[in-house]
Amino acid sequence: MKLEVDSAKCTGCSICQLICALHHFKENNPKKAAIRIAKKFPAPGLFEIRVCNQCGYCEDICPQEAIYEEDEVYKINREKCTNCGICVDECPNNALFTHREVDVPIKCDLCGECIEYCPSGALSWSKDEKKEAVK
């Protein structure tokens, strides 16, 4: 699956962060979301959506081999992860996050909840995924 991101459509409402945290942690705490909205003001004057694009670089660099691919989604094995932070520091998209109350990095698992609730259409499934879903 591919999550399409169009930062130009993002209004900065942060509903995606709220929904993500509610879905995964049952908490109204956007700091526990696997998606972030970076505010780029005053220049260039836009919101930048940061979310995992499933590139797999984190799997390559994890010293504990705690990150693995399953059904085109990179996941973190909670048993193997030592929360060393290397994947967070080295992520080329700045799309893995930590929170002091969570014992492993927070990473997008492509659940799609953010897409369902994004009011501006800044988040969507790729067109190829939509075709696959129709078959």
Check residue 131 and give its pLDDT. Answer: 38
pLDDT digits (tens, 9 = 90+) for 46-105: 999 999 999 999 999 999 999 999 999 999 999 999 999 999 999 999 999 999 999 999
User: 135 in a domain, yes or no?
Assistant: no
User: 134 in a domain, yes or no?
Assistant: no
User: 131 in a domain, yes or no?
Assistant: no
User: 130 in a domain, yes or no?
Assistant: no
Number of domains in the chain: 1
CA 10-13-19 angle, to 5 degrees, is: 105
What's the predicted TM-score (pTM) here? 0.88
Check residue 110 and give its pLDDT. Answer: 96
Give residue 97's identity as a one-letter amino acid code.
Answer: F
User: 93 in a domain, yes or no?
Assistant: yes
Residue 132 pLDDT class (50, 70, 90 cuts): very low
Residue 77 domain boundaries: 3-124
Question: Domain with 55 in it: what CATH number?
Answer: 3.30.70.20
Task: Render the burial of 54-70: b for 16+ CB within 10 Å, e for the rest.
Answer: beebbbeebeeebbeee
